[in-house]
Amino acid sequence: MIALRDESEIAILREANRIVSDTLVVLAEHVKPGVSTGQLDALAEERIRAAGAVPSFLGYRGYPNSTCISVDEVIVHGIPGARTLCEGQIVSIDVGAYYQGFHGDAALSVACGEVDDLRRRLMDATDRALAAGVQAARAGNYLADVSCAVQQECERAGFSVVRDFVGHGIGREMHEEPQIPNFDTGVRGPLLRDGMVLAIEPMVNAGKPGVKVLRDGWTAVTTDGKPSAHYEHSIVVRNGAPEVLSATPRLVWGQR
């Protein structure tokens, strides 16, 4: 069953996601060569707690940190640590915050210094794919309309969507029904309606869609070693249309 949230719950979800997007803005501003992913994570934890929230990821199924920081060929679930960023890399930052009983969740990819044309096009296409998915999240559409919109935008640009990970409903738990694939599964899925809260999160590879998870049990990398990008927004279907909960005027993504 997919939970439908009322106005008072949506108000809290806005707050949880505002904490997430504020944290993402601060982290994005700190992405530069020489900075370690562990430093970014520490900064995120500090910000989330200062806002009166708790990092959603910390301790989730034993996950050791407050953020996932996925560099270049790492698709998602990169564990922050001693790795320092280099000029030209794609740095995908994923943040979750638990606030007054509800989770916020969002992610974006940031260029470390100047990136090459392939990486820039990959990031832009993934951002556009998120925007297309968000726009399809309206009452009267089916979930598959979101999935297909995301896939179409990625493949139009010549890139491939990851199949092994999906978006999700979000609310009192970080992962709720429904699962939100970024590709056409051939199943139209549930009809979307007001009050549904969805985390839409395309993970897009420059090369083949294949994924390999490293021995740490988390780090998901491309099988071909080519770069990957990841953008995510939490949205609510409200008055028939998507409202982006994790948007911020300081740094806008997925809202073309």
Query: Does 199 engage in binding with Co ion (CB under 5 A)?
Result: yes
Asked whether position 105 contacts Co ion by CB under 5 A, the answer is yes
Counting Cα atoms < 13 Å in the Cβ hemisphere of 78 gives 31
Nearer to ligand MF3, 47 or 77 (CB): 77
**Among candidates 175, 229, 228, which has minimal Cα distance to 198?**
175
DSSP classification of residue 29:
H
Token pair recorded at residue 37: 């992913």
68 binds, among Co ion, ligand MF3, none (CB under 5 to 8 A by kind): ligand MF3
CB of 103 to Co ion, least distance (A): 9
Cα(162)–Cα(107) distance, integer angstroms: 16
**Nearest to Co ion of 49, 175 (CB atom):** 175
Cα 207 from chain centroid?
Answer: 20
Count of residues that bind Co ion according to CB under 5 A:
2
CB of 197 to ligand MF3, least distance (A): 13
Q: Binding pattern to Co ion, positions 158-197, x when CB under 5 A?
A: ----------------------------------------
Shortest distance, position 173 Cβ to ligand MF3, whole Å: 11
Q: Is 30 exposed, middle or buried (0-12, 13-18, 19+ CB in 10 A)?
A: middle
How is residue 75 written in tokens?
């698709």
Name the CA dihedral angle for 26, 28, 34, 35, rounded to a multiple of 10 degrees: 40
Interface with ligand MF3 (CB under 6 A): 57, 60, 63, 68, 77, 94, 96, 105, 107, 168, 199, 232
Task: CB nearer to ligand MF3: give 107 or 112.
Answer: 107
Interface residues toward Co ion, by CB under 5 A: 105, 199
